[in-house]
Chains A and B, each alone.
Chain A
């Protein structure tokens, strides 16, 4: 059973608007969450992270929100740009070895 779920396989957004990517998790012991971005033929690139002691972390156009009671996090990109078109993976720390558990990813398409 998946512990990290990204229920939307794809999302299409107009350039300049907000993109919201969602992620749910099942294990309340997870205390650190990350978002990665992946272009075709490249490895995932770390984007932004959040610790469970916070409910928001912002870095430029990217903001991650964490709702621990709902076991839900979201990534907001505003304004969205065509270069943001990629697959976005949500991940959670899976143990003391630093192992990450990934969701299946959401493919974001930002249309000019």
Chain B
């Protein structure tokens, strides 16, 4: 596999469920990101991990819980979500050294909360 992969691609869950989104990058990057994309809004940065350490939490509600066991894997644990959390969740990775800022995105998980 190459690039950034995300599973599952689609997820439907009830408000009382607990589920997890998984992201894996095969690019040797040191940083990984979770974004949320809602309709007609810019991509919203949720979390940043750099060398497995969380460096940013953009005021995300605690019902979203990230986990980064190593530089290649990133999870987003979901519990007691609300219908307004329905969105496309995108994972990205980048190499933060060298003065270049390109991030490479996975295909996203389309989440629907009922």
Give A contacts to B, CB under 8 Å. 2, 4, 32, 34, 36, 41-46, 49, 51, 89, 93-94, 97-105
Chain A residues lying within 8 Å of B31, measured Cβ to Cβ, are 97-98
A32 CB contact (under 8 Å) in B40, B41, B101, B104: B101
B45 within 8 Å of A (CB atoms): yes
From 27 to 79 in chain B, residues with beta carbon under 8 angstroms from any chain A beta carbon are: 31, 33, 40-43, 45, 48, 50, 55-56
Query: In the complex, which residues of chain A have a beta carbon less than 8 angstroms from the beta carbon of B90?
Result: 43-44
Please determine whether B55 and A44 come into contact, CB atoms closer than 8 angstroms: no
Contact check, B106 vs A100: say whether CB atoms are below 8 A apart. no
Which of chain A's residues have a CB closer than 8 A to the CB of B92? 43
Greatest chain A CB density within 10 A among B101, B102, B110 is at B101
Residues on the B chain within 8 Å of A49, using CB? 100-102
Are A89 and B102 in contact (CB-based, < 8 A)?
no
Range of interface residues on B (Cβ < 8 Å):
20 to 34
B27 → chain A closest CB, angstroms = 12
Among A36, A93, A102, chain B packs the most CB atoms within 10 A around the CB of: A102
Of the residues B42, B102, B108, contact of A43 by C-beta under 8 Å: B108
B41: contacting residue among A4, A43, A98, A104, CB under 8 A: A104
By beta carbon, the residue of chain B nearest A44 is B105
A45 x B45 contact (CB < 8 A): no
Q: Tell me how far the C-beta of B92 lies from the nearest C-beta in chain A, rounded to whole angstroms.
A: 8
Q: Do A42 and B41 form a contact, CB below 8 Å, given A34-B101, A98-B31, A99-B48?
A: no
* Measured CA separation A104–B90 after assembly (Å): 15
The 4 closest A-B pairs by CB, nearest first: A43-B105, A98-B96, A102-B43, A93-B101
B94 part of interface (Cβ distance < 8 Å): yes
Judge if B21 is at the interface, Cβ distance under 8 Å.
no
Chain A residue nearest in CB terms to B108: A43
Q: Do A97 and B105 touch across chains, with their CB atoms under 8 A apart?
A: no
Residues of A within 8 A of B81 (CB): none
Nearest B residue to A47, CB-CB: B102
Bound Cα distance from A41 to B100, whole angstroms? 27
